[in-house]
């Protein structure tokens, strides 16, 4: 039994004394102990070495005592497993030298055997569970098929993912075939993670907000729904679409246990759009962690009051930034732990 099950109880919609808290990207770049490991090992070595991935996962739990850990990994291990070459270039980010833009490109993309290609992730989960010793739940994650497609087609990060959208609008057959291959791989991957021991999963649709509401349904949400349908009976699923407030109504009927909300949507609006009956996760602006600690605490308490303490997982509206002061990250976590309903 997990000793601190506050996060899992909030996902079930149970009444709690205070909401649970964790931070997207909490296992990583803002921590000096992470930077020490980073100096010695390149990015994908850190992802692919279970001992390193598990150590990085538990670092923030040791330091701050969040209510959940999230496995250190990357959404781009999926295209790697699908026979798409992915590099992580320092000071540049992801780089895919052979982007998928034609049927011929797509022919070389496989739906892999997960244990063969991503078995190291399952080993990292087992090592992490051992280190956590049932103190807090462990979250596994994947990128949404649309977000993965964005990188596979663009070949790198982008402000607008114009090449990815161009493929969808000029060659939808190739786009949908690629999306389905990513979806099938992601379902198998997340199922393997659940079998390896994660207690919940989150699907990150980081670039969903790049699409119009109509295009979002066609190129993103229908594939997210397939993933939720395949996983929801075996584990809680959190669906997070950055910039996708317009889809909260439909998302709330998906069978997901919780919906992530970014900071551009107020708690009141998010509750209204999602129907008021589903657990929401969010939505503190990550850049607001530059505010003084006392301001952070006041704002976090205000945010919880606006959402209501139940059916809430406190989080940032996107990942923590690398240069956030340690005491400010602590103020964010402590604010939730100190919360008393007024």
Whether omega before 283 lies within 30 degrees of 0, making that bond cis, reads: yes
Q: How many domains is the chain partitioned into structurally?
A: 1
Take residue 95 and report the two structure tokens written for it.
């780089």
Range of weakest confidence among 22-26, 141-145, 338-342: 338-342
Per the listing, tokens 């991935």 go with 53
Q: Answer yes or no: is 285 within a domain.
A: yes
- 209 marked as part of a ligand binding site: no
Categorize the per-residue pLDDT at 341 as very low, low, confident or very high, splitting at 50, 70 and 90.
confident
Domain-embedded: residue 318? yes
CATH of the domain at 113: 3.20.20.210
Note the pLDDT tens digit of each residue in 295-319: 999 999 999 999 999 999 999 999 9
* Average pLDDT for 76-83: 98
Name the pLDDT band for 158 (thresholds 50, 70, 90).
very high
H/E segment holding residue 46:
helix 43-48
In this structure, how many other beta carbons lie within 10 angstroms of the beta carbon of residue 229?
13
DSSP character at residue 257: S
Q: Name the nearest CA neighbour of 31 among 66, 67, 4.
A: 66
342 belongs to a structural domain = no
What is the Cα Rg of the chain in Å?
19
Inform me whether the pLDDT recorded for 55 exceeds 70. Answer: yes
Percent of the chain predicted with pLDDT > 90: 99
pLDDT digits (tens, 9 = 90+) for 209-244: 999 999 999 999 999 999 999 999 999 999 999 999
Q: Which two tokens stand for residue 176?
A: 């949908």
Say if pTM beats, i.e. exceeds, 0.85.
yes
Return all residues near 339 (Cβ < 8 A) that are at least 6 apart.
Answer: 18, 19, 300, 301, 304, 309
Q: What is the pLDDT of residue 342?
A: 64
Helix boundaries (H) for 222-287:
222-231, 248-251, 267-273
Does residue 134 sit within a domain? yes
Domain residues for 197?
6-337
In a domain, 1, yes or no: no
**Binding site annotation covers 28?**
yes
Establish whether 46 is an annotated binding residue. Answer: no
Q: What is the DSSP string of 144-163?
A: -HHHHHHHHHHSB--SS-HH
Residue 206 known to bind ligand: yes
Does the residue 213 lie in any domain?
Answer: yes
- The most distant pair of C-alpha atoms in the chain lies apart, rounded to whole Å, by 61
pLDDT confidence tier of residue 187, bands split at 50, 70 and 90: very high
Inter-helix orientation angle 326-337/50-64, to 10°: 70
Mean pLDDT of all residues in the chain?
97
Residue 91 has what pLDDT? Answer: 87
Quote the pLDDT of residue 297.
Answer: 98
Is 11 contained in some domain? yes
In terms of C-beta distances under 8 Å and separation of at least 24 residues, what long-range contacts does 186-190 make, across chains too?
Answer: 186/78, 186/142, 186/143, 186/145, 186/148, 186/227, 187/226, 187/227, 187/230, 187/231, 188/111, 188/114, 189/78, 189/81, 189/114, 189/118, 189/121, 189/142, 190/140, 190/142, 190/227, 190/230, 190/231
pLDDT band at 338 (very low <50, low <70, confident <90, very high): very high
């Amino acid at each position: 039994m997990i000793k601190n099950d506050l996060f899992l109880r909030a996902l079930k919609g149970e009444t709690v004394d205070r909401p649970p808290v964790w931070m997207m990207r909490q296992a990583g770049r803002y921590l000096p102990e992470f930077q020490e490991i980073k100096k010695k090992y390149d990015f994908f070595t850190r992802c692919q070495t279970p001992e390193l991935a598990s150590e990085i996962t538990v670092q923030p739990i040791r330091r701050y005592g969040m209510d959940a850990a999230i496995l250190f990994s990357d959404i781009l291990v999926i295209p790697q497993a699908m026979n798409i070459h992915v590099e992580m270039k320092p000071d540049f980010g992801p780089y895919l030298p052979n982007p998928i833009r034609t049927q011929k490109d797509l022919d070389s993309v496989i739906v892999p055997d997960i244990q063969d290609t991503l078995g190291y992730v399952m080993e990292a989960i087992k090592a992490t569970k051992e280190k956590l010793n049932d103190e807090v739940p462990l979250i596994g994650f994947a990128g949404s098929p649309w977000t993965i497609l964005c990188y596979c087609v663009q070949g790198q990060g982008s402000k607008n993912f114009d090449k990815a959208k161009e493929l969808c609008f000029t060659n939808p057959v190739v786009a949908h075939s690629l999306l389905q291959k990513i979806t099938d791989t992601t379902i198998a991957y997340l199922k393997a993670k659940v079998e390896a021991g994660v207690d919940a999963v989150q699907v990150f649709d980081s670039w969903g907000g790049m699409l119009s509401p109509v295009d979002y349904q066609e190129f993103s949400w229908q594939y997210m729904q397939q993933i939720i349908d395949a996983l929801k009976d075996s584990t809680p699923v959190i669906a997070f679409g950055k910039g996708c407030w317009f889809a909260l109504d439909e998302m709330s009927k998906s069978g997901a246990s919780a919906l992530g909300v970014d900071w551009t949507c107020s708690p009141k609006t998010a509750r209204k759009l999602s129907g008021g009956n589903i657990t929401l996760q969010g939505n503190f602006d990550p850049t607001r962690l530059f505010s003084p600690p006392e301001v952070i605490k006041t704002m976090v308490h205000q945010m919880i009051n606006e959402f209501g303490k139940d059916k809430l997982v406190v989080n940032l509206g996107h990942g923590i930034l690398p240069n956030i002061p340690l005491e400010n990250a602590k103020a964010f976590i402590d604010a939730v732990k100190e919360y008393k309903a007024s």
